[in-house]
Amino acid sequence: MPPSSTPKIDTFGYALAIGGAALFSTKGIFIKLAFSQGVSTEAALALRMLVALPVYVAILVTILRRNPALRASLTPRLVGSSMAVGALGYYLSSYLDFAGLAFVSAQYERLVLFTYPFFVLLFGVWFFGERMVWRLVPPMLITYGGLLVIFAWNLAVNPDGLMIGTILVLGSALTFAFYQHLARRQMKLIGSGLFTCIGMSTAAVLAITQSLVVDGPATYASFTPYVWSLGLMLGIFGTVLPSFLLNTAISRIGPQATSSTASFGPVITIALAVLVLGEAFTWIHALGTALVLLGSWLFARLESQSRRNPT
């Protein structure tokens, strides 16, 4: 019998996931700065997509020109399913997140959104035939305990809009977790680059159309250069780069492993929220954040061990 070997860890795949999580963590800061300038939720999302859309279209055209075989393999059904999955992950999930940020702090938003790896695990068991790893439940409880600590503090100090904001951001986490499973299946068929371009372009068209209906075209003429610069930063560093990094990571190491690297996001968001936005960071925040990060670290460690030793 040949000796059993431990599956090799895809270091580059994990590096891509960490980089994507770090860049995505800047999104809430740019959004909050845009809100402070009177930009609506719909317009903030549209600004992000106005910057990102030309990039995705250009890359999409390049990919199709350089890969005639891939272009020939694209059926209407395959394109339609990729558009639907992209709309779920990058339009609906993003809109819920943006809407939630109008009610809660950037720190709290990132910590609530940080629960999506647990939903990735549960959805994998419930809908995609993956096995349940029960030893991952205690880390999940630790993380939710940390969220409960910060939620209770916010409820006592500034309860206005806290419940609706939490529900909206939690809805974003749920939809993004489900998206990760669906996206991996699409990327196996057409590749991460092409899927990202199709999905993000679809989401961009939906977001821009929504804003034109809700806000009206005249709104954009009133934006200052500062607001447009925020949209540029949000589109490039908070959208384009991390979307390619995360989707490539999902195609290499899978949705659960990719989501387990998300612990870098809250740390960066919290630091930027305190330094840039001037948000409070008390010992209550420190305790809750520590519990969230501890639970996530344990979750990622145990999840990695269970993948290397499935028996």
**Structural contact between residues 29 and 271, judged by C-beta atoms closer than 8 angstroms:** no
pLDDT tens per residue across span 39-97: 999 999 999 899 889 988 998 999 888 888 888 888 889 899 999 999 998 899 999 99
Cα–Cα distance between 303 and 94 in angstroms, integer? 26
Question: For position 227, what pLDDT does the model report?
Answer: 92
Cα–Cα distance between 283 and 265 in angstroms, integer? 20
Number of Cβ atoms within 10 Å of the Cβ of 232: 16
**Structural contact between residues 192 and 94, judged by C-beta atoms closer than 8 angstroms:** no
Question: For position 303, what pLDDT does the model report?
Answer: 67
Sign of the four-CA dihedral 30, 32, 37, 39: positive
Cα–Cα distance between 262 and 24 in angstroms, integer? 10
Which residue stretches of the chain have pLDDT < 70?
1-9, 255-256, 259-264, 300, 303-311
What pTM does this model have? 0.79
Question: For position 4, what pLDDT does the model report?
Answer: 46
The angle at the Cα of 124, spanning 122 to 129, to the nearest 5 degrees, equals: 125
